Amino acid sequence: MTVTAPTGFLASGVAVGLKSNGNPDLALVVNRGPLHNAAAVFTSNRAQANPIIWSKQVIADGTVSAIVLNSGGANCFTGAEGFQTTHATAEAVAESLQRLDADVSAGDVLVCSTGLIGLQLDREKLLPGVVTAANALRADGGASAARAIMTTDSHPKTAILSRNGWTIGGMAKGAGMLAPGLATMLVVITTDVELDSAELDEALRAATRLSFDRLDSDGCMSTNDQVTLMASGASGIRPDIALFTTTLTELCLDLATQLQADAEGASHDITIEVVHAATEDDAVEVGRSIARNNLFKAAVFGNDPNWGRVLAAIGTTSAEFDPYAVDVSMNGVRVCSNGGPDRPREEVDLTPRATHVLVDLKAGEQTATIFTNDLTHDYVHENSAYSS
């Protein structure tokens, strides 16, 4: 049930004609309360789509009653008309829910869009589609919503965790343009705990820092994407905030690795673990330098444990370490010790999809893990430079 697993939420996913293939393309998630607290984090790309501009205004007071998401069009770089479409979409959600006896205002409706950049959304399909989505709302509609937000995804991405009478559920979209700050995708997370918006914001930022912000598939940052957390309070339970944050982080890591595994054209899921760094920021910088190195990614695609490309990549960073003291292991085999050859490359098996790279900087006690993938011939064919 994903986002409808926590009590207090309804969802739907319908086809309204925004996608040329006729697949579902509009999702609606509604918080029935009694609380309507929320938090969100957004792409840090300076070029931001109209739904991001709108949603930043909505989330400012920490109150959200519903979120509507369309695939089949990013509504980015579409000018004043595009922003008016976003506003009209929120108004349509509010009016539709009011007809269903829900007291919702447009100012409490988040809007998300994903798809091609630079094309106007068809309001004649979108706005009546909102009414259809509202009429289709169900307590078990989470799976339909997860399917409706897909673009180049090969399958829906969902997760559910329950603890001591309360639940967190989530759905995610993303298969390309995955890069940090945050890693770009659409994610909706719901929970039935009693936490205020400030607490939700703190927990969400802590969770995304260790999950979506560490996902770096292709180094390309989108214009549209956000992670939203909504709390209904319907369980009547106020959990320990540390336990809630840990559970939320676990769910976000689950969704992030699902996004990694569905990266366009990828044949290897690469986990880069950096240990013994002077600072956590150093560990992240080193891990990300490897994740964004196309020569390294090409080597993994060719099942070549070319550790020299790892050292060359980390040498471009400003992190504190001695490059001639670094150890590198690949899938459990230490191929580099103290900046020189160790075990023969032939001992490394890179044929499995899961690939683990361990980099020991020997400069401190901090660690970080970055998630990436290789780049294959199929990436060129599947990924669109105009999508978000």
Condensed to tens digits (0 to 9), the pLDDT of residues 288-339 reads 999 999 999 999 999 999 999 999 999 999 999 999 999 999 999 999 999 9
Residue-wise pLDDT tens digits, 341-375 = 999 999 999 999 999 999 999 999 999 999 999 87
| pLDDT the model gives residue 137 | 98
pLDDT at residue 223 is higher than 80 = no
pLDDT at residue 387 is higher than 90 = no
Q: Which DSSP string do the residues of 253-298 spell out, in sequence order?
A: HHHHHHHHHT-TT-S-EEEEEEEEESSHHHHHHHHHHHHT-HHHHH
Q: Active-site residue 317, yes or no? A: no
Residue-wise pLDDT tens digits, 57-98 = 999 999 999 999 999 999 999 999 999 999 999 999 999 999
The mean pLDDT value for 45-63 works out to: 94
CA distance 386 to 171: 24
Of the given ranges (12-26, 76-90, 214-228, 349-363), which has the lowest mean pLDDT? 214-228
Closest CA to 231 of 219, 241, 222, 216: 241
| Paired tokens of 70 | 């369309």
Of the given ranges (204-208, 237-241, 306-310, 376-380), which has the lowest mean pLDDT? 376-380
Pick the catalytic residue: 184, 223, 271, 355?
184
The mean pLDDT value for 187-210 works out to: 97
| pLDDT the model gives residue 179 | 47
| Paired tokens of 39 | 């938090």
The mean pLDDT value for 218-232 works out to: 81
For residues 279, 285, 288, 292, the Cα torsion angle rounded to the nearest 10 degrees is -160
For residues 242, 210, 274, 374, the Cα torsion angle rounded to the nearest 10 degrees is 150
CA distance 290 to 130: 43
pLDDT at residue 382 is higher than 60 = no
| pTM metric for this prediction | 0.89
How many beta carbons lie within 10 A of that of residue 341, not counting itself?
12
pLDDT at residue 379 is higher than 90 = no
pLDDT band, residue 175 (cuts 50/70/90): low
| Paired tokens of 82 | 């595009």
| pLDDT the model gives residue 100 | 86
Q: Rounded to 5 degrees, what angle do the CA atoms 184, 185, 187 make? A: 135
pLDDT at residue 178 is higher than 60 = no
Q: Mean pLDDT of all residues in the chain?
A: 91
| pLDDT the model gives residue 126 | 97
Three-state SS at 137: coil
| pLDDT the model gives residue 218 | 61
- Calculate what percentage of the chain has a pLDDT beyond 70: 92
The mean pLDDT value for 215-237 works out to: 85
pLDDT at residue 11 is higher than 50 = yes
CA distance 59 to 108: 8
pLDDT at residue 180 is higher than 80 = no
Residue-wise pLDDT tens digits, 110-148 = 999 998 889 999 999 999 999 999 999 999 999 999 999
CA distance 24 to 15: 4
pLDDT at residue 174 is higher than 50 = yes
Q: In b/e form, how buried is each residue of 220-251, taking b as 16+ CB within 10 angstroms?
A: ebbbbbbbbbbbbbbbebebeeeebbebbbbb
Q: Number of C-alpha atoms within 13 angstroms, CB side, residue 229?
A: 30
